[in-house]
Amino acid sequence: MSAGKARVDAAAMRVALVTGSARGLGQEFAVALAGAGHAVVGLDIADQVETRDLLRAAGGRFLGLTVDVTDEAAVAEAVRTAVDRFGALHIVVNNAGVYPPIEFEKTTLADWHRVMRLNLDGPFLVTRAALPHLRAAGWGRIVNIVSAVVFLGPPELVAYTTSKAGLVGFTRSLATAVGGDGITVNAIAPGLLDTATAAATTGADGGFERVRALQAVPRTGRADDLVSTLLYVCAEGSGFLTGQTINVDGGSARH
């Protein structure tokens, strides 16, 4: 083994925070990051017993905190608890999000705010609270989960598409703000994937079939289709990759 390889391996144990880790993509990300040797802190409003059991069975280190990511004080406390427990924080995956299909004219201001609050306020609050710790470490990876809808613009998801396009802007601008501190900021834009929430909403009533027909890869995507991209973005060697939106959607939008 070369000296360079040994140095990379020694630096590879990181502390990652994942939002929305109780199920779906967030749970998949938590398991993947633990599998890569990182300690994982999961933030969710829902019970995380399943995620905890999955990670522990795989020998991973996991701390599940019951937190609403739109609650400023609760987020700040959760980040403090995470750092107290694991001594540092390096990776933030802003995954918790909501994607209700609503006809545009029937969208109430309350619907609009609910989507913006979770999909934009959440990443803002979590990232702002975490950032001093990433700066202190001199190394960081911030990953924002957006959606291929930012390229496709489906008619029933105007609020959602707007929120995720906002998160793309957040990704680009923040990348510039923190690029000098060894911190990268990237977005992953999944296509429609077969999570329980997607199956009950955007994938229902032929939704999976309609999206599949747009794809170059003719099958419905799964949560584990994102894992290699997440680990690539978070890798030690990916420090020159920042401000990007990586589309993982079976080729429905040729971006």
Ligand X SMILES: NC(=O)c1ccc[n+]([C@@H]2O[C@H](COP(=O)([O-])OP(=O)(O)OC[C@H]3O[C@@H](n4cnc5c(N)ncnc54)[C@H](O)[C@@H]3O)[C@@H](O)[C@H]2O)c1
For the question of residue 99 being annotated catalytic, the response is no
- Minimal distance, residue 168 CB to ligand X, in Å: 12
The span from the CA of 236 to the CA of 91, in Å, is: 11
Site residues, ligand X (CB under 6 A): 19-20, 22-26, 43-46, 68-70, 95-97, 99, 118, 145, 147, 190, 192-193, 195-198
The span from the CA of 231 to the CA of 248, in Å, is: 13
Count of CB atoms situated within 10 Å of the CB of 21: 33
- Minimal distance, residue 62 CB to ligand X, in Å: 15
Dihedral Cα 60, 46, 129, 63, nearest 10 deg: -20
Query: Which of residues 25 and 36 has its CB atom nearest to ligand X in the complex?
Result: 25
- Minimal distance, residue 97 CB to ligand X, in Å: 2
The span from the CA of 102 to the CA of 78, in Å, is: 32
Among 86, 160, 170, 208, which one carries the catalytic annotation? 160
Query: Which of residues 145 and 185 has its CB atom nearest to ligand X in the complex?
Result: 145
Q: Is 243 exposed, middle or buried (0-12, 13-18, 19+ CB in 10 A)?
A: middle
Nearest to 179 by CA among 141, 233, 144: 141
DSSP-assigned beta bridge partners for residue 190: 248
- Minimal distance, residue 30 CB to ligand X, in Å: 11
Query: Which of residues 20 and 250 has its CB atom nearest to ligand X in the complex?
Result: 20
Query: Which of residues 127 and 147 has its CB atom nearest to ligand X in the complex?
Result: 147
Known catalytic residues are: 160
